[in-house]
Every structure is written in C-alpha cells, then in structure tokens.
Amino acid sequence: MLDINYIRQNPDEVVAMLHNRQLSVEEPKLQQLLACDKERKQLIQRSDEQKALRNKVSKEIADIKKSGKGSSEELIMQMKSVSEAITKMDTSLSLLEEEMENILLALPNKLHPSVPVGRSAADNQIFGEPVSFVHDLDFPVKNHLELGKSLGILDFERGAKVSGAGFPAYIGKGARLERALINFMLDTHSERHGYTEVFPPFLVNRDSLRGTGQWPKFADQVYHIGEDDLYAIPTAEVPVTNLHRGEMLDTESLPISYTAYSACFRREAGSYGKDTRGFLRVHQFNKVEMVKFTRPEASYAALEEIRSHAEAILVALKIPYRVLLLCSGDISANATKCYDIEVWSPAEQKYLEASSCSNFEDYQARRSNIRFKPDNKSKPEFVHTLNGSGLATSRLMVSLLEHYQTPEGNIRVPEVLQRYTGFEEI
C-alpha cells in the first residue's frame, strides 16, 4: 500500500496517478482518506489531552487519599466521565483507522516516471526491437489445438470432463515436454542466473493475498476453499514473497532472489467473450516465477535483470518475441513499472503474453511488513519487491508447438529441451 505520509504530502501527485491509470472514479476515496486522516489527528489530540488530564487528576486523588484531608468523590466522578469519553474516542479512532486501512489497501501504487501515459493496451510501447528466429514454416501451419489433438499430447475435452473448461490435460510426450520446459527454466534461473529454488505451497491464507496485493482488490479472481479459508494461488509470487512477511531482513543478504515452479489458478472472472480456445485462456496453468527483494536504490536495475532473465529463456528456445513497456492505463494496480514479454503465434498471427516483469517498490513490503536496516544506526526501511514470469508455459507452449511443427504434422523438440525429454521429435 502507499505510505500515508506520502499521500498527505503529495495529494496532487496521487490524484494525477489515479487519472493516468484511468481510475479517476477512485478520487472520492482519496478525499475520504484525507478527511479521515484529519479527523484521526484531531481525535488523537483530544484523546491525549483527556488522558493527560486523567493522569493529573488521578495523582491529585491519590494525594488526597494519602493525606486523609478532604473528599475525592467529586474528582473520582469527574474522572469516570473522562474515562468514558476516552473509551468512546478510542473506539471512534479504531473505526477510523480501519476505514483508512481499507481505502489504503484499495488504492493503486505510484507510477515510475518512465511509464508512458496511456488509456489502454493499445498505448503500450514496444521496448527495443522484436526478436526473431528462423523457423521453416513454408507450409500451411496448424494451430496448437490441431497439433495437440492429432498427436495425442493435449486433451482439453477430457480435462473439461474432469474439472471444467479451462483445465487442460497433458498426455504422454506432451506431459513430458511440459515437465521439460519447467525443469529447463528452473535449472537456468538457479544455475545460470543465481536464484535460489523454492517449492512453495499452492494454497495460501488471506494474509498472504493481502501482502502481495491480490486481496481485497482482486478477490473475485481467486479460488476459495471456504471450509479451511484457504485460497488457490494465482501465481507463485504470492507464497514466495510472503516467505519473509513480518521479517527484518539481514542487510547483507540483499538482494534475495528466488525462483519457483507452481501451478497457477485463476477464475478469470469478467473474461467472457474473450478468445478462450485451448491455452489462450485457462483457469489452471504452470509457471516458473522469479521474485527479488532488494534495497530501494537497486530495484530498477533488478527489474532490468529480471526482464533479461526471462528473455534468455526465449532466446535459448529460439521463440520469436517482443517486449512491451506497459502504459499507465494497462499496468497492474500493484506495479510501479512493468514489462510484458509476448511470444509470436504463427497460427493466430498475433503476439501472446507469456511473461510479466514488475517492480512494486515498497507497495507489497509495506503491506507485508518486510523491512531491513541500511546500517546499525539507521531506522528500518521497507525493502523493494519485484517479480517476473520466467515463464508461464501455456502461451509459451502455443508458440513452441506452432514454430517447431513439421510439414508432416510432427513437433521437433527444441535442442535445449532434448536432454530433459529424452526424445527429439513428437
């Protein structure tokens, strides 16, 4: 969440951020927050004055009782009234602070100055040049659904029978290829890029979702297990970031870099009418995640590093892709700056998002209370958190199958995956 001190000192900046994010409808909430903050200060001042009075008179009462001269009954009755007033003010203060926290939890993050101002995805900027690789596709190409069905490696129909639409089943060499992709990405990030591998829980509590920003704003996107009050993770970012929730990190340990595989579960509420064929939109998919905890001054260099690590996977696989710098109207509410990496689908004739790399600055760390001390004499500060998909396999599988198909309808296995699959062709 945003620092209330930042909001007090820079209300116009926050208003401009809401407008740039196409969220001007949230401006009344900001004004409500500032009004609550002003009332809170006044309540604290009045409560402190009454508590000081109570302490002073309580000492006078004690002195009267000790001396045995005079009666303290009238003062005791006065202090009873003061105590009741303090209790009411404390109750009002608690309700005000709860209201303020709810608003703070819903407000989006700041935007980095380099984020282009725009209304929608149409205003995102291409970052650098699209990267191409030569694939001989001089024949009528099949899409990933046709290839998966003809080769018997993907079964969306039986997956739907078991769970419902959007829950794919990988069969035989398709399952082996998926596992090969995951293992290759984990090995690359842990062995070449310096990440520590984590195998996290796939179910988390509400505090974890709150810590990374999925709760309460995106509560409708997560699957809830009511009996246990647990939630299926939408991304490994949630459990991995929350590993350090409530901790004071050792300064010498920063930056901390984790990579993790997880299945990801998303309800995709509000996606009706969008293209839902095959892997284009699913409720369950696999992803390898990269998560970093850094000192504030190092976080934007770390963002470029995460992006380069995600790109390295696509270069190794020889999958054509491009990088987008998201505009203010398309960036997620939690991020200050974000790159999307999109892979090319020759059958769909369009780019498909396969990775998103974001800097959250201290937005998540403030919600999760993850801090460090710059040195022994300094006050604790919040770390900056970052994450990037390294990568999501569903859209990546679309591009891989379509680029590596042969005129006969088979699939050549990318060279870097062959030691994981044990075969060169499907």
Same domain (yes/no): 135, 158 = yes
- Helix 393-403 vs helix 173-187: crossing angle, to nearest 10: 110
Confidence of residue 276 (pLDDT cuts 50, 70, 90): low
Long-range contacts of 14-23 (CB under 8 A, 24+ apart): 14/107, 17/108, 17/110, 17/111, 17/328, 18/108, 20/111, 20/117, 20/328, 20/329, 21/108, 21/111, 21/328, 21/329, 21/331, 21/333, 22/119, 22/120, 22/328, 22/329, 23/108
- 114 within domain boundaries: no
Same domain (yes/no): 102, 158 = no
Q: What pLDDT is attached to residue 275?
A: 61
Same domain (yes/no): 77, 211 = no
- 243 within domain boundaries: yes
Same domain (yes/no): 27, 162 = no
The pLDDT of residue 282 is above 80? yes
The pLDDT of residue 272 is above 90? no
The span from the CA of 73 to the CA of 12, in Å, is 54
Among 357, 204, 210, 192, smallest CA distance to 291 is for 357
Q: Identify the domain boundary among 57, 78, 106.
A: 106
The span from the CA of 195 to the CA of 370, in Å, is 19
Q: What pLDDT is attached to residue 63?
A: 74
Among 359, 123, 413, smallest CA distance to 423 is for 413
Same domain (yes/no): 288, 368 = yes
Same domain (yes/no): 192, 293 = yes
Same domain (yes/no): 92, 138 = no
- 115 within domain boundaries: no
Helix, strand or coil, per DSSP, at residue 64: helix
The span from the CA of 98 to the CA of 111, in Å, is 26
Place of tokens 């380069």: 308
The span from the CA of 296 to the CA of 336, in Å, is 13
Q: What pLDDT is attached to residue 65?
A: 73
- The catalytic residues are 266, 281, 353, 356, 395
Burial class of residue 114 in the structure, from the number of CB atoms within 10 Å of its CB (0-12 exposed, 13-18 middle, 19+ buried): exposed
Q: What pLDDT is attached to residue 219?
A: 86
pLDDT tens column, 349-376: 999 999 999 999 999 999 999 999 998 8
The pLDDT of residue 270 is above 70? no
Task: Name the residue with higher pLDDT: 117 or 68.
Answer: 117
Neighbours of 112 (CB within 10 A): 17
Helix, strand or coil, per DSSP, at residue 213: coil
The span from the CA of 352 to the CA of 395, in Å, is 6
DSSP class of residue 202? S
The pLDDT of residue 29 is above 70? yes
The span from the CA of 353 to the CA of 316, in Å, is 18
- 113 within domain boundaries: no
Same domain (yes/no): 215, 67 = no
Confidence of residue 274 (pLDDT cuts 50, 70, 90): low
Q: Half-sphere exposure of 201 toward its Cβ, with a 13 Å CA cutoff?
A: 13
The pLDDT > 70 percentage for the chain reads 98
Say how many Å lie between the first and final Cα of the chain, rounded. Answer: 48
The span from the CA of 108 to the CA of 213, in Å, is 9
The pLDDT of residue 298 is above 80? yes
The pLDDT of residue 7 is above 80? yes
Same domain (yes/no): 97, 25 = yes
Number of structural domains in the chain: 2
pLDDT tens column, 76-85: 778 888 888 8
| CATH number for the domain that contains residue 85 | 1.10.287.40
Same domain (yes/no): 296, 167 = yes
Residues paired with residue 230 on neighbouring β-strands, in sequence order: 225
Same domain (yes/no): 162, 272 = yes
Q: What pLDDT is attached to residue 152?
A: 97
| CATH number for the domain that contains residue 244 | 3.30.930.10
Same domain (yes/no): 52, 179 = no
The pLDDT of residue 109 is above 60? yes
Task: Name the residue with higher pLDDT: 48 or 118.
Answer: 118
Burial class of residue 183 in the structure, from the number of CB atoms within 10 Å of its CB (0-12 exposed, 13-18 middle, 19+ buried): middle
- DSSP symbols for 12-52: HHHHHHHHHTT-GGGHHHHHHHHHHHHHHHHHHHHHHHHHH
The pLDDT of residue 421 is above 60? yes
Neighbours of 215 (CB within 10 A): 20
Q: Which domain holds residue 319?
A: 121-421
- DSSP symbols for 286-352: EEEEEEEEE-GGGHHHHHHHHHHHHHHHHHHHT--EEEEE--TTTS-TT-SEEEEEEEEETTTTEEE
